[in-house]
Every structure is written in C-alpha cells, then in structure tokens.
Amino acid sequence: MAPPQERDARGKRAAILDAAIERFGRDGYEHTKWSDIAADVGVGPTALYHYFESKQHCLFVIMDDALVDMGKRFQSLTADAPDQMNALRAVLADCFAIDPHEVLRNRLLVAEQGLLAHSCQSPREEAARLEARAHTRELELAWALFLARAMEAGAIALGHPRLTARAILGIYNSIFTWFRPSGSIELERMATFFTERILAMLGASPAAPDRLELAA
C-alpha cells in the first residue's frame, strides 16, 4: 500500500484532472484559465504546478488517460472473442455506456485532437503529447485488426479495414461536436440510432427507418 502522502497526491491529481475535464469540456479549453481549475479544486494556482507543468500538459494527460481507457475497454471486449458479431455489438454498446462526465471528456478529446500534431518545447508536455498520439494510433489499429478478423469470418462486409475503422471512429467522434446530455435527444435513443447505422454501413444489419430528429 502506498504511503498516505502518496495517496493524497494521487487523489489531488485525480481531482485536478476531473475539474479540468469539466471546465475544458463545458467552457472550452481556450476559454478556461488555469486559475479557474485551481479554484474548482480549492487550491492556489501555483499548487497545480506540483502535478502539471501547464494547462496544455494537463490537457495531454487527460487525452492520454481517455485513450488508454478506451483501448483497454476495447481489448477486453474483442480479444479472443469467439463471435465477431457479438463482440462488435458489445463494443458499440460500450461506446455509448458513458456518463455526462465522460461525454465532456470525449468532447474535449475530439475538439483538441489537432493539438497532438504540434510538437512542444517542454519535455514533459512533449512526452505527454507523444503518449496520447501513440495511443490514438494504437486504438485505430486495434479497431482495424478487429474489423479485419470480422471480415475474414464473414461477420461483416469485405472492405478496407483501416478505412472502415476510420469511418466508424469518425462517425462516433462527430457526435461529441453537438451532443449535449441536457439536449432534446436522450443518449439511449442516440445510441440506438447511430449503432444501427454503423452496423448497416458494415453490412451487418439493416438500418430500420427512424424519424428521430437530430436537432439538439
């Protein structure tokens, strides 16, 4: 068991990350001040530097943590899966099994993805950026390999696995540019709508007519 001081530090770090996700996801990364996050956590602005070098360093850590979590969940549902179709449905269900905090996290991940393309002068920021970028590629590759197996098994239509993975991830990521938990569309209905259409795109299931209005 870790010493009390180390446990306290981990708890404070997690609190900072959660507060940053709420602020960045709700108000926007550019519009959030480092001091806003400090106030939400109940510490002075300088205390944040014990855990993160900068606001951008914190952002990259959030993005990397999210991608690692997504990758682990994806692998747990698809590794050695005997039935590719059941695994695919399980993965899609898991993609939408998220709470409002995770919605904000995903919105942030999509909105600030472009920052991963630009190198940083700070060694700590650059290390966090490279980690997040590598895990982005690993998640896409995991999807592509899984889809290739599903195609070989005849569970979905034949196609280009990597492009198909990018199409699915593109559809999923686009949701977080407009979806709001407090909007007129419930997450459950949205999940049904997009899951049906992703399956239809893969030739796995016909998309039933749906008159759901997508105006949030």
Q: What is the pLDDT of residues 107-127, one digit of tens each?
A: 999 999 999 999 999 999 999
pLDDT digits (tens, 9 = 90+) for 14-47: 999 999 999 999 999 999 999 999 999 999 889 9
**What is the CATH number assigned to the segment(s) 55-201?**
1.10.357.10
pLDDT digits (tens, 9 = 90+) for 60-94: 999 999 999 999 999 999 998 899 999 999 999 99
pLDDT digits (tens, 9 = 90+) for 187-215: 999 999 999 999 999 998 654 444 444 44
CA 69-75-78 angle, to 5 degrees, is 140
For the record, the structure tokens of 176 come out as 């977080």
pLDDT digits (tens, 9 = 90+) for 129-156: 999 999 999 999 999 999 999 999 999 9
CA 175-164-105 angle, to 5 degrees, is 30
Superfamily of domain 1-51: Homeodomain-like (1.10.10.60)
pTM of the predicted model as reported, rounded to 2 decimal places: 0.89
49 contacts: CB under 8 Å, gap ≥ 6: none
pLDDT of 9: 61
Count the residues in the chain.
216
pLDDT of 167: 97
Q: How many other β-carbons are positioned within 10 Å of the β-carbon of residue 78?
A: 20
Q: How many other β-carbons are positioned within 10 Å of the β-carbon of residue 158?
A: 11
pLDDT of 8: 56
Q: Where are the domains of the chain?
A: 1-51, 55-201
Tell me the residue ranges of DSSP E strands in the chain: none
